[in-house]
Amino acid sequence: MDSFQGFPLLLAIFYSEFHPTQGPKVTFEVPENFVTSASASSTSHGASTAISLQSAQTSNSSPSLPPATLMSQPSAPEPILDFDSISEYIIPKPELCNRLVTISTPYYKLMGYPVSIKDQKYERNALLFNLCFVFEKDANTISYEQVVRKMARVLKSLEVESEFLSNANTKGAILNIMEQLLEDLNSYSECQIPINDANMINIKLFPKYPDPPPVHDYQVPVLIVDLEKVMDKYWDMTMRRIVPHINGVHFVRKIAEIADVDVTLVRIAIQHLLYYGCVKLVDIFQFGNVYAIRPSISYLLRSPESQAECVQFVAQPESSPPAFALLFSLYCALKPGLSIREWTEENHMWALNIDVRRFILYGVIKGFVYRVHKYPVWLARPGEHLGDSPNRQLKRYLDGRRHYDELCTILGCNARELDEILKTEPSVKFIWK
């Protein structure tokens, strides 16, 4: 979630088309003269070709073969964007049309969406154009993908509806659109461009986060953001039914039951909240659980703010807050093989003003405490068969992939009941991890 690095700088936009007589050419560009092309202007013909060839040559002045040669970047003084070298990707053959195409040049990364409209009325029976966005070579352009697609779609429909691009009177307006796009997207990450009475372009850049992990029925969502405040009546109905039941205690399956919503929908809704960083998923808190700490716990010692936050989070309401050193030594006392029940007794937790559930929750959410799950494992020995066992169905699940929380959710029982069942099977081993 936190990996978002801001939107990349949009360096230039150019509108390119297939000219009936001149072939592929750059018709409009902002800023001016950003794209060099041999065929575009006759005056610069020789010069620009020479430059492009030169740049290709300087790139490889060392004749040896090791990776050093391959990796070396040309040290040409001025980064140029040579249209001729990439025109086959900008104004491409039909196979590449109507697809999002990104091509890297020595200095830039170009993203375009070549559009071809077939119609008898055009001189070559088709109109082929591409509005290309230019970025720095290493830019992360993923957030612009939708923008480029949308602009291609808008221009295409404008052309189909009102011959916006092929009519010489209206065509010039593209340049204005491009100028505004370049300026607004870089400054405000969004823009609104009226085109004519009927059309308006609305564009906003959205950060792209990685896909959220799958949500399991046995996981407990914990709100990180106060959704009740943000939510209004226009929100999705399912979401509005689910959110009030997200209390850091109920697990997904239970939320589905209480809210009377299909569990698949709950999972999807939680996944959405996860995507936008509104919830974190933790395990079901029970006193039979085992937790352990990670090395990152040392971070707490170096951050007075986190210490204060921790103290405030775990303290029982209306009582004097515990000392941080106490909390820290309590965290250090968590270890594999020690259930929370035992840990509570060992440390006389009832005498301390600490909410044990919130104490564990804080550590789990911050990531320095993790749940040590109990995995019942049953492996068929030679000569042993599933068929002759009373818990045949259950044993199928005991392959080391499923822990107690998951099994209990599947079977609809609690941990103690599962213990009772498995006690009758001496060949089942328990592995904690």
Partner 1 sequence: MSSSVLGILLICYSSRGHQLVFSYPSDPKRVRGTSRDEQRSRLPRNLPGSSVGQPNEVPEVRDGAGRDTLREGISQRPSTADLERAKACLRPDAEKFLGFDTHFLSDILSPKVALCDRQFQLTVDDVTFIGHPTLLHADRPGTGHRFARMIQKKRLAAHMGAAAPTSTNLQESVAPGVTITPSLSDRSSSDPFLKSANSPVNIASAHQLSMFNLVFAMQPDRGQCQVDTMYKHVISKITAALKYEQLKRGYIRKEAELILSIKDEAQVKSLERVRLSDVMDQVLAESTLARCLAHIYNSITNDSVAHVVVNSSVDLSLHIPDRVSRPLALTESTTLARPKYAFGSEDTGSPILRPYHALLLLYDPEEILKALPLDPSPLLVELIQIVTPTQCFEELQTTLDCSLSQLYRLAAHLVHWQKAKIIDVISIRNVYVVSQGAELDLLPRLVQDFNSRFPQLDLPTILSDLSIPRPYSAIIPQKEFRTLYLEVLTFLLRYNLVTQLHMYIYLMIPEHICGKTVMGGEAEAPGPPAVFIPDPARATEVEREWINKLAYEHPPAIGSLFLRLAPYFSGKYHVEEIVFRENLTKKDLRTILSRFREVVVSALLP
User: 182-221: which residues touch partner 1 (CB under 8 A)?
Assistant: 203-204, 206-211
The CA-atom distances, in angstroms, between 186 and each of 10, 176, 189, 341 are: 6, 16, 6, 56
What residue type is assigned to position 310 of the chain? Answer: C
**H or E stretch including 89?**
helix 83-90
CB of 251 to partner 1, least distance (A): 21
* Contact call for residue 159 and partner 1 (CB under 8 A): no
Q: Which of residues 321-340 bind partner 1 (CB under 8 A)?
A: 323-326, 328-329, 331-332, 335-337
* Contact call for residue 118 and partner 1 (CB under 8 A): no
Task: Specify the residue for token string 């509104």.
Answer: 278
Distance, in Å, from the CA atom of 35 to the CA atom of 18, rounded to the nearest integer, reads: 16
Q: Which of 159, 80, 77, 166 is nearest to 123 (CA)?
A: 166
Q: Which of 224, 265, 365, 418 binds partner 1 (CB under 8 A)?
A: 265
- Residue 5, token pair as written in the block: 């690095």
Compare residues 34 and 170 and give the one whose CB is closer to partner 1. 34
DSSP string of 181-227?
HHHHHHHHSEEEEE-SSS-EEEEE----PPPPPPPPTT-EEEESS-H
Residues 185/40, Cβ–Cβ less than 8 Å: no
Q: Which of residues 55-114 bind partner 1 (CB under 8 A)?
A: 55-57, 59-67, 69-71, 73-74, 82, 84-86, 88-89, 92-93, 95-96, 98-106
Residues 182/10, Cβ–Cβ less than 8 Å: yes
* Contact call for residue 353 and partner 1 (CB under 8 A): no
Compare residues 89 and 171 and give the one whose CB is closer to partner 1. 89
* Contact call for residue 302 and partner 1 (CB under 8 A): yes
Compare residues 122 and 275 and give the one whose CB is closer to partner 1. 275
* Contact call for residue 164 and partner 1 (CB under 8 A): no
* Contact call for residue 126 and partner 1 (CB under 8 A): no
Compare residues 103 and 249 and give the one whose CB is closer to partner 1. 103
- CB atoms under 10 Å from CB of 359, counted, come to 24
Q: Which of 13, 26, 30, 38 binds partner 1 (CB under 8 A)?
A: 38
Binding mask 221-240 for partner 1 (x = CB under 8 A): --------------xxxxx-
